[in-house]
Structure 1
Amino acid sequence: MGAYLLLAVAIAGEVTATISLKLSEGFSKPIPSVIVVLGYGLAFAMLAQVLKAGLPIGVAYAIWAAAGVALVALIGAVFLNEGFNWTMGAGLVLVMAGVVLLEVGRAH
């Protein structure tokens, strides 16, 4: 599996775990609580494989973290009735721009 595909799986695991953390209501609901543990376990295991495959840690972590932040914020706004405004959207754009700059800088 390619490094970026592994990274996508790591991101999916992290986002699933984070959303489940909210749904677990302080670990009082068993099914979301189990998903939290499994999701974070998958996320870190896949992130380890990404690093083993040769993607630099700064780039891998930046993509992982930024994509996770963006997806969780959007899922929270759309499905969990959490707020989202233009300022937050601008912040997400800036985070993603920073990741793009890290990737571009790696190419030089």
Structure 2
Amino acid sequence: MGAYLLLAVAIAGEVAGTVSLKLSEGFSKPVPSIIVVVGYGLAFVMLAQVLKAGLPVGVAYAIWAAAGVALVAAIGAVFLNESLNLTMIAGLALVIGGVVLIELGRSAL
């Protein structure tokens, strides 16, 4: 598997784990609690494979974190009735823009 595909799986695991953390209600609900553990486990195993595949840790972590933040915020707004205003959207755009700049900077080396 390519490093970016592995990274996508890592992001999906982290997002599933984070959303399930909210749904677990303090680990009082078994199914979401299990998804938290499995999701984070998958995320870190896949992130380790991404690094083993040669993607620099700074780039991998930046993409992983930014995509996770953006996806969790979107899922929270759409499915969990959490607020998302223009200021927050601008912040998410800046986070994503920062990751793009990190990736572009890596390409310039």
Pairwise TM-score range, normalised by the shorter structure: over 0.9
Task: Give runs of aligned pairs for residues 68-107 of structure 1, distance below 5 A.
Answer: 68-107=68-107
Provide the TM-score with structure 1 as the length reference.
Answer: 1.00
Provide the TM-score with structure 2 as the length reference.
Answer: 0.99
Deviation at 1:59, TM superposition (A): 0.2
Deviation at 1:76, TM superposition (A): 0.1
Deviation at 1:53, TM superposition (A): 0.1
Large movers: runs of 4+ above 2 Å? none
Could you tell me which runs of 5 or more consecutive residues in structure 2 were left unpaired when the two chains were aligned. Answer: none
Query: What SS does the corresponding residue of 2:10 show, helix, strand or coil?
Result: helix
Partners of 1:47 and 1:96 in 2: CA distance = 19
Cα RMSD (Å): 0.2
- Residue 47 of structure 1 corresponds to which residue in structure 2? 47
Could you tell me which runs of 5 or more consecutive residues in structure 1 were left unpaired when the two chains were aligned. Answer: none
Aligned sequence identity (%): 81
